[in-house]
């Protein structure tokens, strides 16, 4: 049996990775693991429109709840970038329990550090609030 350098994804109850705008190479779609026991179904889609622009989304249905998000980002490795995400949680057929809008800017500091300041607006039931956020990632 061959030893592969990266771990192989384990397919569970339902997993549908695909990319329809990419012509060559391996699609950059995420796999979603589900359990038959908890009765959930989930799907994740992601596609690259060009070298730095990605569009994607995911949806999960678990019992009467529906969680979802749609994202779009343009984060070049050498330049300034941005991103936008919309997401929410529906409990029942007509009850929007949670909705959020997130936007961020992407600044690359050298080749190994990324700074992402952003704004978040959340509606959670009757509560609404804006928030500032700051993400960073770096590698050695």
The pLDDT of 94-115, averaged and rounded, is 87
Residue 94 lies in a domain: yes
Residue 67 lies in a domain: yes
How many structural domains is the chain composed of? 1
Residues for the chain: how many in total?
Answer: 140
Residue found under tokens 């909705």 = 99
Residue 84 lies in a domain: yes
- 3-state SS, one letter per residue, for 30-86: CCCCCCCCCCEEEEEEEEECCCCEEEEEEEEEECCEEEEEEEEEECCCCCCEEEEEE
How are strands ordered across the β-sheet holding 40-48?
40-48, 53-62, 65-74, 81-91, 96-109, 113-124, 127-138
Residue 7 lies in a domain: no
Global model pTM greater than 0.85:
no
Residue 22 lies in a domain: no
Residue 13 lies in a domain: no
Residue 44 lies in a domain: no
Distance (Å, whole) CA 18 – CA 45: 6
Q: Give the residue with greater pLDDT, 35 vs 105.
A: 105
Question: In angstroms, what CA-CA distances link 135 with 114, 124, 138?
Answer: 8, 22, 10
Residue 54 lies in a domain: yes
Listed residue (71, 64, 70, 18) closest to 40, CA to CA: 64
Domain range enclosing 76: 49-138
Residue 122 has pLDDT above 80, yes or no: yes
Listed residue (91, 104, 101) closest to 129, CA to CA: 101
Instruction: List, for residues 22-64, the tens digit of each pLDDT value.
Output: 444 444 444 444 444 567 888 999 998 888 899 999 999 887 7
């Amino acid at each position: 049996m061959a030893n592969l350098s990266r771990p192989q994804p384990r397919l569970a109850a339902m997993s549908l990775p695909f990319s329809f705008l990419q012509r060559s190479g391996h699609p950059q779609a995420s796999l979603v693991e589900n359990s038959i026991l908890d009765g959930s179904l989930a799907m994740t889609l992601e596609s690259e429109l060009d070298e730095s622009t990605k569009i994607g989304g995911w949806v999960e249905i678990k019992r009467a709840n529906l969680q979802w998000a749609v994202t779009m980002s343009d984060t070049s490795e050498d330049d300034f970038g941005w991103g936008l995400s919309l997401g929410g949680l529906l409990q029942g057929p007509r009850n929007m329990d949670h909705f959020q809008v997130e936007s961020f800017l992407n600044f690359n500091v050298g080749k190994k550090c990324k700074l992402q300041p952003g704004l978040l607006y959340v509606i959670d039931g009757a509560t609404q609030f804006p928030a500032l956020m700051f993400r960073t990632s770096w590698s050695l």
